[in-house]
Amino acid sequence: MRLFRQFVELIEKSGESFRGIVLVTDIRGRELSSGIIDSFRELRSSGHDLQVLFLDASDEVLIRRFSETRRRHPVDEQCSVSEGIRIERERLDILRQNATLIVDTSEFNVHQLKEQVIRIVRGEQGSSRFTVEVVSFGFRYGVPLEANLLFDVRFLPNPHFIPELRPHSGLEPPVRDFVLGRQETALFLDRLYPLLEMLLPAYQREGKSYLTLAIGCTGGRHRSVAVSQAVAARIEELGAMVRVTHRDNEKGI
């Protein structure tokens, strides 16, 4: 870990003012050993506020991620992914044991992970509010794998079959008013909102900081978009941070 210490020394000698510096390593850093722990001690003894963030995930999720990206595990191109993960855990165990914060990324998508890391680096992780990502999607393009809760609104009348509404999305007044003005939609939301009022605090008590709620229709452009916007507004009223993603809104235009 000589480069690690040399990098910090160069920053100190530069005379520049830095609020924080982030260094990243993984299994490809071949010098991961007790030497890195010695480096941690030296930096702390010289007055640096050193925090070690360890990103983890379950074996099942890691195997799925490698399968989706079609990449071999970097530890050894000749071994299986599961064996590579086992070896990686052994080699990184010393870092995990000395981490000041361990984050399980198993249920995060790339956007959620980015936001979480940014909050941690900025020192906001202790005060961050429970975050719900509301995702509208089209069943035609597949179900979001990261969804914790999923609702199907294909039972609502489809604006796609109304010529004057078809070109518009659920973000626009003609479609939004058509979908949200239906009695079926009102009945659905009247039952969904109390369910969310019960579920969101329950998930928080179990230690979850993120929840992904997916709402789907056939193409992901009309009904699911309009309903997702309404649900997101209600969740925000309940005090949670809300992120809205319309995954398939631009498809099939």
Question: What does the pLDDT look like over 92-130, one tens digit per residue?
Answer: 888 888 888 888 888 777 877 887 787 777 765 544 567
Confidence of residue 43 (pLDDT cuts 50, 70, 90): confident
Sheet holding 131-138, edge to edge: 149-152, 210-217, 131-138, 241-246
- Tell me what pLDDT residue 3 has: 67
- Tally of CB atoms within 10 A around 121: 15
Per-domain boundaries in the chain? 2-106, 131-246
Measured between alpha carbons, how far is 26 from 59 in angstroms, rounded to an integer? Answer: 16
Measured between alpha carbons, how far is 156 from 26 in angstroms, rounded to an integer? Answer: 48
pLDDT over 60 (residue 10): yes
Strands 101-104 and 53-56: parallel
Measured between alpha carbons, how far is 74 from 59 in angstroms, rounded to an integer? Answer: 15
Assigned token pair, 2? 């000589």
Half-sphere exposure (Cβ direction) of 15: Cα atoms closer than 13 Å:
0
